Chain A
Amino acid sequence: MSVRATIMGLSLLMGLASPALAKDDLVIGVSQFAPSLNPNIDPTVIKSYVLDFAIRPMTAFDKDWKLSCLLCTTLPTIENGGAKFETTKDGKQGLAVTFTLKPDLKWSDGVPVTTKDLLFTWKLGSDPKSGFSNNNPWDRAKSIDVIDEHTAVLHLDRVIVAYNQWDQLLPEHLEAKAAEGKEAGDYLKATLYNRAPATAGLYNGPYMVTGYDSGAQIVLEPNPYWSGTKPSFKRVVIKTIENTAALQANLESGDIDLAPGDAPALTIDQVIALQQKAPDKFAYIYKPSLTYEHIDLKIENPFLQDVRVRRALLMAIDRDTLVSKLFAGKQPVAATWVNPLDANFAAGVPAVKYDPAGAKKLLAEAGWKPGADGICRNDKGDRLAFEIATTAGNKLRELVEAVLQSQWKASCVDIAIKNEPARTLFGETTKKRTFTGMVMYGWSSAVGESPRKTQFSDQIPTAANNYGGANYIGLNDPKMDGLIIQAEQELDPAKQKAIWAEMQGIYAEQVRVLPLFFRAEPYVVPKWLKGFTPTGHGDYSPLWAENWRAE
């Protein structure tokens, strides 16, 4: 082969670079793959993100954190008569919630979405053998009355705030066969969403899954039977690149268009650095989210039993500077677990201000005086020292930890860092509450979700409850328990707000947790993408993907 021919061959191979698909394709880069696609089983963040393009829940919170109907015509509420109080057979107060499905809804094979699907999903979801683990369990409804093809009444045996929050329906005409199995787990193995996720008819959103390349990418194309706003892209490709440095390089090379903040993708420090490097190349969005980073304190630790010590620990850390220096001020400081964007946020509960002198004074009141080495000691000569654990290898958490360690040291508190891999930290240390002082991690809740999992007494993980629950602080306060129950049942928004304010007050007063900041979701968005709106909560931006367009 001549040199000329070789050069021509190489040019053909190398020169025809096609980093950018045409603008009618949108390539999204994420760092995790959704290994299965059944919406009701193991709904991880990445799975929900992918499915939000293709299958709509009955209801979802919108960008303003207001509950809205996606499959129904009107959101049923007490006020509009869509939900009514009723008395159950055993004399308790329950609710009858009427849903009317949008009449022009169709599955992606043209079959209409009807109450048959609602009934099927409810029956399957109420069967413990099905393995459903969705956020809004179907077994909250004890019976369903089907009025016609589009209207049904769900009967709940108790009053709950989330009475009008329901998840995705499943297509009865396709999934009924998979649900025929009698053994526990049979449905899990037979569902088409896992066995053949590109089957036409499994989706009812603006896009449908047409390609599923395990571990690599998922391809979505417009659902021809979607009756809403016509999706603008001919193809949406969700590509998995697990190494975030490589993911960033792909973004810069144009191989991917969008790095979402509501799915696992680039870290906030990467996005801040990229913005500094290429401020005009992309649009950068930092959306405060419901995930709050915090430090749980082990209340059984004798030094931490004194609330003055716990409060002093909070006063000794400068969270404003930490957030400003490490995250360019993009992540708001948290006063409690409730985000200021949440309707139940209590503005009257102030965030504790950085006050190292006040912290030392409080420690002195509690009997802790600085020793010769600068670390506080009590009358018995004990050093005021704690261990802190977080997920080893999480660069940002380790950085935060190091800053906090130095700030506490300045206030005469000695902190030893003892980090563990995530699976050990969450599989043993928090689960069995074996940490001795502090443990730092993030926690996500849904909009308006009560703090039952983290603060109700029966959620303290013990051998008796098979280490279920996430009340790692070991909070066992009948008053808090009572408030949580009320918060889950009170339908009057004003009373609800008062209950939440009281819960936040207890949280702030007892200082069993050191709240740090709310994570911001960092998005890198192509400048030509319009109609894209992050939400900051668990109903992700693709739920409104039909509005995304290239301009």
Chain B
Amino acid sequence: MTKKDPIVSVKHLKQYFNVGKPDEVKAVDDISFDIYPGETLGLVGESGSGKSTTGRDIIRLYDPTDGEIDFEGKNISKLKRKQMKDFRSQMQMIFQDPYASLNPRMKVEDIIAEGLDINHLVKNADERDKRVHELLHLVNLNEEHASRYPYEFSGGQRQRIGIARALAVKPKFIIADEPISALDVSVQAQVVNLMQDIQEKEGLTYLFIAHDLSMVKYISDRIAVMYNGKIVEMADTDELYNHPLHKYTQSLLSAVPVPDPHSEKQHKIIKFDHSKPFKDDQYLQEVTPGHWLYCSDEEAKQYK
């Protein structure tokens, strides 16, 4: 595969909160990565690792403290409010909680069409209806659902409505922030399969944020592991699962319980020492082609 130009390029992104105060938090601390057109990049880590903050920085729900975010080669990290409107229709977000992210007082058709209305993407009511029905079909719902309210749907169905809303403005890039965490296992699988189908049909690029390592494996082409505001490892999915190099990645993978009582009984969990996670001479570098590790030059040599 020849490397295409990245659709999103994050360069030295920093997001600090409460800057200059005693409770300053470095939620995202100097991370850089690229996302290529058509791929799914999985961003995993535990709560507080900075994965959601990264997603929100990219779609500019936060103003980054420092660094640059390029979308299709154009720096968007300093855009003003008005200029943002344009690019937000190219980048959309799917949220974690399908209960909190849909307005309970709006009908499904109005929820889905809100982006169409704001961006004047449809000329009249007929066209609006037609597009809404198209979108409902795309997420395996039907037009009968258009005139109902969110409370009439199950969690999995609501998440489909959230997906339809994100797709309405024909985005190129979607940030999905833990879209399946609130769902039952069997429903999670349905939503993951649906997202894959839509990606193929519409040629979308995903940033898939998750803490569930077994599910994220299925949808991601590449995975980046975050810890304490930094990316500690990034590689192709199979490479990362088969040859995790960073101690933290190893510990995270070892903590996933497997549905097999006999191997669970011998299950060893690798401990990670949280007291001194990083050294000054460490940074994220490519140790083997496509496999990035947060380490020092000295440490990198053993992998080369």
A and B: interacting chains: no
